[in-house]
Chains A and B, each alone.
Chain A
C-alpha cells in the first residue's frame, strides 16, 4: 500500500444504516458482525471460494434453460389441457393489457435471475483471468455497481411459492400436474440460494482494490 492513509481507513468500517464508526476485526467464517448501535449487519468475513461460486453459477445457468423452456404447471379440465411456462404466465397478463403486472412478473421470475447469474459468472471469470487488463477492470466495476439492484429484482423464491399456491388454488376444480419445468425451476431456486450464500460482494470489491 503506497498511500499512508489506506491502512488506517481500512481498519475502520462505517455502518451503512447509521454511520457509526467501528474498527474492523477478523471474524471466523460464517459469522456476521452486527452494528453495535443499530444492530444492522455490518460485514462478514470477505471470503469467497471462487471455483465453488463458478461451479454453482454454471450449474444454475444450465438449469435455467429447461426451467424456462418447459411448462411449470399443467391443467386438465374436462378433457382440455392447458400448460404454462414462466414466460407464458407473464405474457398472458401483458396480452390482457396489464403491462406493468406482466413486466414485474417477468422481471422478478425470469430476467433478473438470469441477469444475476450472468453478473456473477462475469465477475468470477474476470477475477480469475482478467483483472490486470484495464478494460476488464472497468467492466468489473460497472457490473459490481449494478449487482445489488439486480439482486433486489430477482425473486425466484416468490415464484416457487406462487407455483404451489396456484396449484392448490386450481386443484380445487381441475387436475393440476407439475412437470420437469417445475422441478428445474425449484432446483434453480435452490442453487441460487446456495450461490448467494457463497458469493460475497465485499470480497469482489476488495479484488478490485488489491490489484490496483
Chain B
C-alpha cells in the first residue's frame, strides 16, 4: 500500500463535497437536487430514520427467533408413531442417522446464520447508535457477509416444502410442517429487511464527527 495515501479518516466524503449518490442507480448528483436526473428516485443526503427502522425490524426478528427455535418445525409420522422435531432436534436426528455433512449444512443454514445475522446486525446498529469504538472496516465487512449469507436460511424451509409434498402416506409415513415454520420464515424476512433499509453510511458519519471534533481541538 502507498504510504502517502490519506488515512481513512481524512478521505473526502460525498456530503463534504456537496455531492450525493442516487440510492437506486448510484449516479452522482449535486446535493441540491431532489430527484435523480437519471432514474427519478427521491434523493436524500442520508436516511437518518433508517436506523430506527432497522432496530425495529431487528428486535422483531430477535423475538420471533424464540418461537422459531422452541416449537416444532416438522411433524413426522412413521408407522403411527408421531415425532415433533424442532430445528435443533431435527439436526440431532440427522447426526444420529450418520448424515454428518447434511447435519452441518442444516446447522449452518438454520442455526448459525440466523444467530450470526441478529448478533452481527445488533453490533452494527449499536456501533452507530452508541458510537462504539469498533473497527469500521471490520463492521462493514461483517455487514456485507450478513447481507450475503442471510438468504441461506431459506434452505430448511425449501427442504420442508419438498418433504411435505413427497411424504404423505397417512399413518404409514407422513410429514407436516410445524408451527415454528412461520416464525422462522419471518425471522429471515425481518433480518433481511433490517439489513436492506439501513443506510450504512451513518456508521462512517458518526465516527467521522468524533474524529472531526478531535481534529478541531488539536488545531485550535
Interface bits A160-188 vs B (CB < 8 Å: 1, else 0): 01110110111011100000000000000
Q: Please tell me which one of the listed residues A5, A155, A162 contacts residue B30 in the complex, with CB atoms under 8 A apart.
A: A5
Query: Chain A interface mostly helix, strand, loop or mixed?
Result: helix
Is B166 in contact with A75, judged by CB distance below 8 angstroms? yes
Contact for A104 among B23, B137, B154, CB less than 8 A: B154
Find out whether the CB atom of B161 lies under 8 angstroms from the CB atom of A77: no
* Interface assignment of B131: CB less than 8 Å from any CB of chain A: no
- A161–B186 Cα distance when bound, in Å, is 21
Task: Say if the beta carbon of A26 comes within 8 Å of chain B.
Answer: no
Question: Contacts A40-B144, A93-B161, A172-B97 hold; do A158 and B151 have CB atoms under 8 A apart?
Answer: yes
Give the Cβ gap from B207 to chain A, nearest Cβ, in Å. Answer: 10
Chain B residues positioned under 8 Å from A205 (CB to CB)? 25-27, 38-39
Q: A82 near B167 (CB under 8 angstroms)?
A: yes
Say which residue of B40, B105, B151, B200 sits within 8 Å of A141 (CB atoms). Answer: B40
Does any Cβ of A come within 8 Å of B163's Cβ?
yes
Confirm or deny: B82 has a beta carbon within 8 angstroms of a beta carbon on chain A: no
Residues 140-169 of chain A: 1 if any B CB is under 8 Å from the residue's CB, otherwise 0? 010011001000100100110111011011
Complexed CA–CA distance, A170 and B78 (Å): 12
- Mostly, the B contact residues are helix
B154: chain A residues at CB < 8 Å are: 104-105, 108, 155, 158
A21 sits at the interface (CB 8 A): yes
Question: Which of A8-16, A59-67, A190-198 interfaces with chain B?
Answer: A8-16
Q: What per-residue 1/0 map shows which CB atoms of B63-97 lie under 8 Å from chain A?
A: 00000000000000010000000000000001001
Contact A101–B167 (Cβ < 8 Å): no
Check: A2 CB closer than 8 A to any chain B CB: no
> Which of A31-39, A47-55, A117-125, A126-134 lies at the binding interface?
A31-39
Q: A20-B11, A92-B164, A169-B163 are in contact. Are A104 and B157 (CB under 8 A)?
A: yes
Q: A39-B141, A92-B164 are in contact. Are A21 and B11 (CB under 8 A)?
A: yes
Interface status of A27 (Cβ within 8 A of chain B): no
Are the C-beta atoms of B185 and A82 separated by less than 8 Å?
no
Output the nearest chain B residue to A168 by Cβ-Cβ distance.
Answer: B102
Interface contact A158-B155, CB-CB below 8 Å? yes
Report the separation of the CA atoms of residues A102 and B162 in the bound assembly, to the nearest whole angstrom.
11
Task: Give residues 183-211 of B contacting A (CB, 8 Å).
Answer: 184-186, 188-189, 192, 196, 200-201, 203-205
Interchain Cβ contacts within 8 Å, total number: 201
Tell me the bound Cα distance from A159 to B166 in angstroms.
16
Residues of B within 8 A of A209 (CB): 27, 38
Interface residues on chain B, number (Cβ under 8 Å) = 72
Let me know if A172 and B172 touch, CB within 8 A. no
Asked whether A12 lies within 8 Å of B19 as measured between CB atoms, the reply is: yes
B144's nearest neighbour on chain A, judged by CB, is A40
Known: A37-B11, A37-B204. Contact between A161 and B105, CB under 8 A? yes
Q: Determine whether the beta carbon of A89 is less than 8 Å from that of B157.
A: no
Known A40-B144, A72-B162, A100-B185: A165·B136 in contact at CB below 8 Å: no
B166 in contact with A82 (CB, 8 Å): yes
A42 to chain B, nearest CB (A): 9
Q: Which of B11, B28, B41, B165 has the most CB of A within 10 A?
A: B165
Contact B201 A89 (CB under 8 A): no
Q: Which residues on B are within 8 Å of A, measured CB to CB? A: 5, 8, 11-15, 17, 19-21, 23-30, 38-41, 78, 94, 97, 99, 102, 105-106, 136-137, 140-141, 143-144, 151-152, 154-169, 172-173, 176-177, 181-182, 184-186, 188-189, 192, 196, 200-201, 203-205
Known pairs A19-B13, A92-B164, A158-B158 / 6 extra A-B pairs, C-beta < 8 Å:
A89-B158, A98-B182, A109-B158, A144-B25, A162-B162, A205-B25
Among all A-B residue pairs, the 7 with the closest Cβ atoms: A162-B158, A84-B165, A92-B165, A14-B21, A89-B161, A14-B14, A38-B140
Q: Can you list 17 A-B contacts (CB < 8 A)? A: A18-B200, A19-B204, A20-B204, A21-B12, A39-B140, A73-B162, A73-B166, A89-B162, A91-B165, A96-B177, A100-B186, A101-B157, A108-B151, A148-B24, A158-B151, A166-B163, A173-B173
